[in-house]
Amino acid sequence: METMTDLAIRREVTVAAPPERAFEVFTSRMQWWWPLETHSIRAGGDGAPPDELHLEPWAGGRFYEKTGAEEASWGSVLECEPPHRIVFEWHVNPENPPTEIEVTFTAGESGTRVELVHSGWERFAPGSETRDNYASEGGWTGVLARYAEAANAAA
Amino acid sequence: MDALGDPTRRAVFERLRGGPLPVGEIAAGLPVSRPAVSQHLRVLKKAGLVADRRQGTRRVYRIEPRGLAELRAYFDEAWAAALAAFKDEVENEEGGG
């Protein structure tokens, strides 16, 4: 795994609030800040955002969107130590291997440093069956990839 | 090139996420005319975001699939935007009580 760490995506942000607040907003209030209108399973299907998004802040908790009575899984919570750390799966497209997101919350002088590491990309091994699925027409990944490229070009 | 800068064009693009569709079906889900959708598709095609192929009398559009590097680039951008929105939410919450 260590040899693949260079593939991980790393981002951080400092928020003017204590770790308890930062952790709570990240997990229990995720649907208030996550861009559901563009980044959700429902939006990918019929273009409308789901009603709700839940990231349950405990180990074994579920990560899912909900519209009416219908739920769609995004993954599950692997580790959780409120208000310091949460690790959850990103498995929005079941045809792709899951990736993992670790978020840590560290108290500092000016607030809380929130560090995010999105890893597990090595599971998309070139030539593997999943890699082929991943590259399939209309796959979530292909879409996201192209969208990113265009967004980058536009920036 | 800002192929996805226009909200309608972005909606046209998003409609293809579920899989390839003919123009008529793309337009059916959107509050714009079919010729307008065709125009947006032409721009997306020129930008290399979608590809089309003839199927009988219909033209079917699909997203152009890409590789892992682009997927990571996508998430890198997505997280940057999401964390900025997260910061706003935390701090508005604090400020607004």
What gap in Å lies between CA A104 and CA A81, rounded to an integer? 9
Q: Residue A149 domain-assigned?
A: no
C-alpha distance from B14 to closest chain A C-alpha (Å): 6
Q: What is the ipTM of this complex?
A: 0.73
Give the tokens for residue A149: 């490229």
**pLDDT above 50: residue B73:** yes
Please tell me which of the candidates A12, A22, A154 has its beta carbon nearest to residue B1.
Answer: A154
Same domain, B70 and B41: no
CA of B48, closest CA in chain A: separation in Å?
Answer: 8
Closest-CA distance, B78 to chain A, in angstroms, reads 8
Question: Does residue A104 form part of some domain?
Answer: yes
Residue B83 class from Cβ within 10 Å (0-12 exposed, 13-18 middle, 19+ buried)?
buried
The domain tally of chain B equals: 2
- Mean pLDDT calculated for residue range A56-73: 96
Q: Say whether B83 and A22 touch across the interface (CB within 8 A).
A: no
CB spacing of A146 vs B63 below 8 angstroms: yes
Q: Do A145 and B77 touch (CB under 8 A)?
A: no
- Domain range for B91 is 66-97
Indicate yes or no: CB of A9 within 8 angstroms of CB of B65.
Answer: no
CATH of the domain at A12: 3.30.530.20
Query: Cα(B75)–Cα(B8) distance, rounded to whole angstroms?
Result: 23
* Domain annotation covers residue A45: yes
**Residue A115: its pLDDT value, please?**
94
Residue A128 has pLDDT above 60, yes or no: no
Q: Do B74 and B43 sit in the same domain of this protein?
A: no
B2 in a domain, yes or no? no
Output A140 or B15, whichever has higher pLDDT: B15
Distance CA B39, CA B55 (A): 19
Task: Point out the residue among B16, B71, B84 whose CB comes nearest to the CB of A144.
Answer: B71
CA distance B46 to B40: 10
User: Does any domain span residue B77?
Assistant: yes
Residue A150 has pLDDT above 70, yes or no: no
Do B83 and B95 lie in one domain? The reply is yes
Tell me whether residue B95 is in a domain.
yes
B8-56 per-position pLDDT tens digit: 888 888 788 778 899 999 999 788 999 999 999 998 887 667 888 888 8
Same domain, B11 and B58: yes
In terms of CA atoms, which chain B residue is nearest residue A116?
B79
Residue ranges making up the domain that contains A39 = 2-123
Q: Are residues B52 and B80 in the same domain?
A: no
Q: Please give the model's pTM, rounded to 2 decimal places.
A: 0.62
Residue A148 pLDDT greater than 90, yes or no = no
- Chain A, chain B: beta-carbon pairs less than 8 Å apart: 157
Same domain, B54 and B97: no
How many percent of chain A have pLDDT more than 70?
A: 75
In which band, very low, low, confident or very high, does the pLDDT at A120 lie, cut at 50, 70 and 90? confident
